[in-house]
Structure 1
Amino acid sequence: MWTWFHRLASPPTFYRLADRYSPWLAVLSLLLIGYGLVGGLWLAPPDYQQGDAFRIIYVHVPAAWLSLSGYVAMAAAAAVAIIWRIKLAECVVVAIAPVGASFTALALITGMLWGKPMWGKYWVWDARLTSELVLLFLYLGVLGLNRAFEDPRAGARACGLLALVGVVNVPIVHYSVEWWNSLHQGSTVSRIGKPAIAASMLWPLLSMTFGCMAFFGWAVLRRVQNDVLLRERRSTWVAALLGERKAAGHV
């Protein structure tokens, strides 16, 4: 097991695997997001209370879910980077931050757009909204720290420490609806028992969620590849890779 783990953590091995599988993730994300948008925006019936305004969940829910799961993945990569000092894990931390920040901002914006017709205001200092905003600041903090250091390894370690400290906010965001008197509605899909949503609405939502997951993975893999190439640009394997690309006519 550990041999496989260290082999995957090798920059040249990871780069070639990412180059092989990232196009499949891109195609999968296009198919799933395409079906999710068509099914959610046109085929699903209007909600009996919210009407067509509910359709924003097909963007809001996947974005909100990935804002949390992306931060957990970033914190896990930070732990690996700090404990085992694996350079590839440092690249993963730095790569996830802008993608996670984008999904977090999307979750906040779509939540505000939904809140206007439902609550009468674009923004209220609700527990869920406030803790999600803190999550965005944590992502942006990681991005800022990474750019504040000239040494990429020192910057990545600082980013990792912030990611590990900030992970305490993830359960606060997730359980804020249950812990406090929140205006935000409770869970309808991940609840224990039967989801409180019709199948015609549920399947497009699940398709959008998995499609956004595939897109998230594709974006992170490509960013990690770029960071690996930048760090290893003087390595022999990068020179060999460039030679292969030139021979194949790709450069």
Structure 2
Amino acid sequence: MWKWLHPYAKTESAYQLCSSLKPWLWGGALLSLAVGTVWGLAFAPADYQQGDSFRIIYIHVPSAILSMGTYVAMAVAALVGIVWQWRTAFMSMIAMAPVGALMTFIALFTGAAWGKPMWGAWWVWDARLTSELILLFLYFGVMALYVAFDDKQQAGKAAGVMALVGVVNVPIIHYSVEWWNTLHQGATISKFDTPSIAPEMLWPLLINLLGFALFIAAVTVVRLQNEILRREIHRPWVQQLAASRLEQKKVEPRHAV
């Protein structure tokens, strides 16, 4: 079943796959984010209680959901790297980490901006907010542990173990509003049978969720390619790639000044 994945354990194959996916991911991300953001901020109706201040949901909710989703994907990559000893899996893990940290920061920042008019405070030590903050520290910890080792294979293993241990925080974030009495509102779009949001507000949110996911994937493949080139700089295929690009630049026509 998973045989189709095996070729991508090779860095060259993974690099070529990233090159193939990159334009589609960037194109889909830009289109989805443009449509979802404009629709949500300009055309979706105002909330009957929160007015226009609810519109931050179109940034806050996708970033919050995908901060957890990216961490789970990072933990899966870590598991693959530890079990099957795939270097590309460890490279994928570390390529995702800064992007996931950025999504977590955006979720925390927009949540604080939303919480001020709704709760009267920028920050409270709410279960959801606190566990999301811990997620940001976990991302930082994985990145710091990775750069602490000169041997990047050992660095990947150490950071991978930390990523796997930290994944226990993800269900705590998700179910915190059900397990504890918190200020944070309950589930909105995850109740697929009866979502607690009007369809004309829901669709731009789902489009932006797709756009954020494609953006994360696009940045990750770019970072993965850079990590592969950095780690494989002495490999013949990397040197051949660099030579071909240098030759291509030499033959590009130059405009007269």
Please give the range of the TM-score, normalised by the shorter of the 2 chains: over 0.9
Q: In structure 2, the residue corresponding to 1:76 is in which secondary structure?
A: helix
TM-score (normalizing by structure 2)? 0.95
Q: Deviations over 1:101-134 (max 9, x none)?
A: 0000100000001000010000001000000000
- Structure 1 position 84, deviation (Å): 0.8
1:189-209 deviation per Cα after TM superposition (whole angstroms, max 9, x unaligned):
111412121111111101110
The residue type paired with residue 181 of structure 2 is N
Distance 1:16 1:213 in 2: 21
Find the aligned partners of 2:24 and 2:6 in 1 and give their Cα distance: 24
TM-score where L is the length of structure 1 = 0.97
Q: CA deviation at 1:247?
A: 3.8
Q: Secondary structure at the match of 2:195?
A: coil
Partner in structure 2 of residue 240 of structure 1: 240
Equivalent-residue separation in structure 2 for 1:8 and 1:203 (angstroms): 35
Question: Cα offset for 1:249?
Answer: 3.1
Distance 1:109 1:173, change over 3 A: same
- Deviation at 1:245? 2.1
Match of 1:249 in 2: 249
| Whole-angstrom distance in 2 between the partners of 1:186 and 1:54 | 15
**Other-structure match for 2:92:** 92
Q: Summarize deviations over 1:194-234 as a string: whole Å, max 9, x none.
A: 21211111111011100000000001111111011111100
Query: Which position in structure 2 is the counterpart of 1:134?
Result: 134
Partner of 1:18: 18
Partner of 1:151: 151
The whole-number CA distance in structure 1 between the counterparts of 2:245 and 2:34 is 32
1:25-81 alpha-carbon deviations (Å, 9 max, x no partner): 101101000011111111011100011110000000000011000000000000011
Q: Counterpart of 1:218?
A: 218
2-structure distance, mates of 1:75, 1:65: 16
* Aligned-partner SS, 1:248: helix
Hey, what's the Cα distance between the residues in 2 that align with 1:3 and 1:176? 38
* 1:206 alignment partner in structure 2: 206
1:171-190 alignment, distance < 5 Å: 171-190=171-190
How far 1:248 sits from its partner (Å)? Answer: 3.3
RMSD: 1.3
User: What is the Cα deviation at residue 4 of structure 1?
Assistant: 2.3
Give the whole-Å Cα distance in 2 for the aligned partners of 1:99 and 1:106.
11
1:47-196 residue pairs with structure 2 within 5 A? 47-196=47-196
Aligned residue for 1:227?
227
Q: Which residue of 2 aligns with 1:9?
A: 9
* Equivalent residue letter for 2:113: L
Q: Residue 165 of structure 1 aligns to which amino acid in structure 2?
A: V
Q: Alpha-carbon deviations, 1:69-99, whole Å to 9, x = none?
A: 0000000000011111100001011111100
Instruction: State the match for 2:255 in structure 1.
Output: none
Q: Compute the displacement of 1:3 (Å).
A: 4.0
Compared CA separation, residues 142 and 28, structure 1 to 2 (3 A): same
Q: How many Å separate the matches in 2 of 1:6 and 1:153?
A: 19
Per-residue CA deviation, residues 136-183 of structure 1 (Å, 9 max, x unaligned), is 000010111112111211111111010000000000000000000011
Give the percent of matched residue pairs that are identical in Structure 1 and Structure 2.
Answer: 53
Q: Aligned partners of 2:21 and 2:129: how far apart in 1?
A: 35
SS at match of 2:249: coil
One-letter identity of the residue aligned with 2:216? F
Secondary structure of the corresponding residue to residue 195 of structure 1 = coil
Equivalent-residue separation in structure 1 for 2:13 and 2:92 (angstroms): 15
Find the aligned partners of 2:99 and 2:11 in 1 and give their Cα distance: 21
